[in-house]
């Protein structure tokens, strides 16, 4: 598969995001409502998701479709698409000192791990 092939870019970036976030493939497939086999097809570059699934993937990973499709190098979701709760959380986080931010991030990660 060619490196500039959109399916290759999508599969590489999706795989990287799952690894960076320590998300197990089977868990992720379950969370977004697809089979592990379907996710494997995305990760191998054999298949691409439909629009609704693509948007679900982006929301779960906090990224933008343009990033996954190779049209942007910005991994992060556009802040204008955040919910009011997400914006409020970010507002308070930015007001914390660097040490407090580090602590808060650790607490959020622990909550996330407990929920799995």
Q: What's the rounded mean pLDDT across residues 77-101?
A: 79
pTM, two decimals, is 0.66
The predicted-structure confidence for 25-46, as pLDDT tens digits, reads as follows 999 999 999 999 999 999 999 9
CA distance linking residue 116 with residue 113, whole number of Å: 5
Sign of the dihedral through C-alpha 21, 27, 33, 39: positive
Q: How many helices (H) and strands (E) does the chain have?
A: 7, 0
| Contact of 105 with 90, CB cutoff 8 Å | no
**6-77 to CATH, choices 2.40.160.210, 3.40.640.10, 3.90.650.10, 1.10.260.40:** 1.10.260.40
Q: What is the largest CA-CA distance in the chain?
A: 46
Q: What's the rounded mean pLDDT across residues 59-75?
A: 87
């Amino acid at each position: 598969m060619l490196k500039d092939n959109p399916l290759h870019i999508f599969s590489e970036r999706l795989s990287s995001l799952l690894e960076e976030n320590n998300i197990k493939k089977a868990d992720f497939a379950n969370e977004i409502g697809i089979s592990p086999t379907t996710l494997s097809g995305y990760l191998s570059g054999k298949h691409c998701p439909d629009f609704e699934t693509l948007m679900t993937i982006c929301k779960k990973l906090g990224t933008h479709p343009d990033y996954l499709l190779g049209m942007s190098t910005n991994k992060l979701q556009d802040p204008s698409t955040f919910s009011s709760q997400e914006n409020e959380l970010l507002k308070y986080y930015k007001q914390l000192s660097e040490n407090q931010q580090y602590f808060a991030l650790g607490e959020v990660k622990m909550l996330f791990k407990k929920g799995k």
